[in-house]
Amino acid sequence: MSEFKVQMPKMGESVQEATITKWFVKEGDKVEEDNLLFEIATEKVDSEIPSPVDGVISKILFEVDSVVDVGETVAIIKIDGEDDDDDEPADDEKSDKKASADEKSDEKTSPDEKPDEKTSSDEKPQPVTKEETTENDEDGDAEPTRFYSPLVRSIAKEDEVSVKELESIDGSGENGRVQKKDILAYIEDRKSGKTSKAVEKPAEKEVKQSDETEKLQKEKPKVSVSVGAEDQIVEMDRVRKLIADHMVQSAQSAPHVTSVVEADVTNLVLWRNKVKDEFQKKYNEKITFMPVFTEAVAAALREFPMVNASVDGDKMILRGKVNVGIAVAKPDGNLIVPVIRDADQKNLVGLTSSLNDLADRARNNKLSPDEITGGTFSITNFGSFRNIIGTPIINQPQVAILATGSIEKKPAVMETPTGDAIVVRHKMFLSLSYDHRIVDGAMGGAFLRKIADILEEFDVNRKI
């Protein structure tokens, strides 16, 4: 019976370590492929890690609350000899055998006698570490957007399956995870000509913060706070600490400017009131105003590519995709921002379905890491808390964020054939915070006005 080393998975380009928050198994437990092993927390998201193989938990190397580097072995599973690599001795066994062979060789060789070139340790091939394998892998520059077990990665490397191909495989495991049988079936289909090998392009990497910004983060000013006898001290939880650091970092790195417009959304309100019951009956989805806001934002971002961008030092990165993040309040009071990818390519039904699904799983800690990364623009809804306006902080490395306020009935002056008249209209405030390094007031104002115009011109007779 051989051993399989379960490693801390890489959960994203910028994630180098994770905290083990829960073990679902203990030493001696039998597990099957896809059974949950442990739960981890990163600065991006909390995730449950499944077992990549069948076997028995031989050793758990880290306790709960341990901070573990990516790639570090966290547990050992004893497995049977079905896998191809089971016939090979473990790395530790190889090292022991090599050391034993070296000792025997030394005993046979006298001090004055030089070892033969064939037996020289300098000429012996050294085992390739996993770090070297990653660096030499032709897909090393491509970053997967979902978790793959070491076994699946090993099979992919051996059969030259690129990251792009892996991303295209529909997994049969929990949450669509690719299992051994899935990748073997894909390879078999590729050999038979049912699918072709994809050409992998380097994946887009997250923009790294400058050394100056990192220095400012480390040198946070300390404020002296006095504590009274009746005061209560409450420690921030892990997520709140991460949010606090992220907000401070954003405020320090980007000069924020906020523009505000008031939009007349009467047509939108009347349309939603008219179709919401039919929409839910037809698509089994509850439609709110947020999918319409997202649709308007996606259309405006295509017209203003400089707002759909990031800043890297003195370079501007114009994003090729429109991935809109929607801030969701969790039951514990913290916020998370799931991302609707390719929002400009989805219709209103698709946006509604994606938004409802992501928001529901966000509130229940069921999001995967790739579902909260890669956003190019964010929306936060102050109106859900009956607030009329707000000045949000940019979600780095993006350059802008939209805040939507509460929709209220207000008296408004409208022109009629017989003159001006005061009527009741549904109005709301839209506020846009943007990075003044690349988005100036003219562009920010025009972009915000474009969103408002799209909402104001909404077709009250639009079909669902």
By C-alpha distance, which of 343, 307, 332 is closest to 436? 307
Q: Which pTM value belongs to this model?
A: 0.61
CATH number of the domain bearing residue 322: 3.30.559.10
36 and 95 part of one domain: no
Q: Is position 26 within any domain?
A: yes
430 and 393 part of one domain: yes
452 and 352 part of one domain: yes
Cα Rg, the chain, nearest whole Å? 28
79 and 101 part of one domain: no
CB of 303 within 8 A of CB of 450? yes
For residue 106, the enclosing domain spans 91-122
Q: Is position 180 within any domain?
A: yes
61 and 179 part of one domain: yes
Q: Is position 409 within any domain?
A: yes
Q: Which residues are known catalytic residues?
A: 436, 440
246 and 322 part of one domain: yes
The helix or strand, by DSSP H or E, that contains position 282, with its residue range, turns out to be helix 266-283
CB of 296 within 8 A of CB of 455? yes
Kindly give the confidence (pLDDT) of every residue in the chain, 464 residues in length, as a single tens digit, with 9 standing for 90 and above. 688 999 988 766 556 788 888 899 999 999 988 888 998 887 656 778 888 888 999 999 999 888 888 889 999 999 875 444 444 444 444 445 444 445 444 444 444 444 444 444 444 444 444 343 444 444 444 566 667 776 777 788 888 888 878 888 887 776 677 877 888 888 888 877 766 555 444 444 444 444 555 554 455 566 778 888 889 888 887 778 878 888 898 999 999 999 999 999 999 999 999 999 999 999 999 999 999 999 999 999 999 999 999 999 899 999 999 999 999 988 877 888 999 999 999 999 999 999 999 999 988 888 887 888 899 999 999 998 899 999 999 999 999 999 999 999 999 999 989 899 999 999 999 999 999 999 999 999 999 999 999 999 999 999 98
43 and 130 part of one domain: yes
Q: Is position 198 within any domain?
A: no
398 and 351 part of one domain: yes
What residues contact residue 429 under an 8 Å CB cut-off, 6+ apart?
260, 261, 262, 263, 388, 389, 405
The helix, strand and coil proportions of the chain, stated in percent and rounded to the nearest 5, come to: 35, 20, 40
Could you give the dihedral angle defined by the CA atoms of residues 320, 326, 327 and 330, in that order, rounded to the nearest 10 degrees?
-130
When divided into structural domains, the chain yields a total of 3
Among 122, 139, 163, the domain boundary falls at 122
166 and 60 part of one domain: yes
Q: Is position 227 within any domain?
A: no
Q: Is position 206 within any domain?
A: no
Q: Is position 225 within any domain?
A: no
The helix or strand, by DSSP H or E, that contains position 17, with its residue range, turns out to be strand 17-23
20 and 75 part of one domain: yes
CATH number of the domain bearing residue 24: 2.40.50.100
175 and 64 part of one domain: yes
146 and 41 part of one domain: yes
- Tokens (6 digits) for 187: 């390879």
Q: Is position 47 within any domain?
A: yes
DSSP state letters, 349-408: HHHHHHHHHHHHHHHTT---GGGSS--SEEEEEGGGGT-S---PPP-TT-SEEEEE---E
